[in-house]
């Protein structure tokens, strides 16, 4: 289900997975610092889990946002079950949880399954 057209290949050494023809970064303990905290672009991080139905519900909107803003924004997905330490470090207590990182810091947080237009409204002020 997440991503909507296939599963994340957790065994792959490639940190980028094609979700609905968009490039989203599969985040892990190994690449979180380089892909998120040291990114020159703002980063929308989707903290999710496979069992989370609201996470599945917003996945298509996240993929569309990644495609629309690909030149101005990086989008990453972090499986909280695979990386609970990172989720805890950034205060993720419920999912779906979207955090916008800018200059290595959390600039905005969106908790819950919110409509795509609300995500965009809160995202664009950080681009």
Question: pLDDT tens-digit profile of 37-75?
Answer: 999 999 999 999 999 999 999 999 999 999 999 999 999
Phi, psi for 14 (deg, rounded to 5)? -80, 125
Q: What is the largest CA-CA distance in the chain?
A: 36
Q: What is the pLDDT of residue 19?
A: 44
* Cα distances (angstroms) measured from residue 105 to each of 23, 30, 109, 113: 22, 18, 11, 23
Shortest CA distance to 33 belongs to which of 22, 23, 45, 24?
45
Residues serving a catalytic function are: 52, 55
How buried is residue 52: exposed, middle or buried, by Cβ count under 10 Å (0-12/13-18/19+)? buried
- Which long-range contacts (C-beta less than 8 Å, at least 24 apart) are formed by 18-22? 19/59, 19/63, 19/66, 20/60, 20/63, 20/64, 20/67, 21/67, 22/63, 22/64, 22/66, 22/67, 22/70, 22/75
CB atoms within 10 A of CB 14: 8
- What is the gyration radius of the CA atoms in the chain, in angstroms? 13
Q: What is the pLDDT of residue 15?
A: 47
State the pTM of this model: 0.83
Provide CATH code, domain 16-124: 3.40.30.10
* pLDDT score of 35 more than 60: yes
Mean pLDDT of 102-127: 97
Please report, for the chain, the start and end positions of each structural domain, with discontinuous segments joined by +: 16-124
Q: Which residue has the higher pLDDT, 16 or 122?
A: 122
């Amino acid at each position: 289900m997440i991503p909507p057209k296939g599963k994340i290949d957790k065994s792959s050494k490639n940190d980028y997975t094609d979700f609905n023809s968009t490039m989203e970064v599969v985040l892990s303990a190994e690449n979180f610092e380089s892909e998120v905290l040291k990114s020159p672009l703002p980063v929308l991080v989707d903290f999710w889990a496979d069992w989370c139905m609201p996470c599945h519900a917003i996945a298509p909107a996240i993929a569309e946002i990644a495609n629309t803003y690909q030149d101005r924004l990086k989008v990453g997905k972090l499986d909280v079950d695979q990386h609970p330490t990172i989720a805890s470090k950034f205060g993720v207590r419920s999912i779906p949880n979207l955090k916008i990182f800018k200059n290595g810091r959390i600039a905005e947080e969106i908790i819950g399954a919110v409509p795509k237009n609300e995500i965009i409204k809160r995202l664009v002020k950080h681009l």
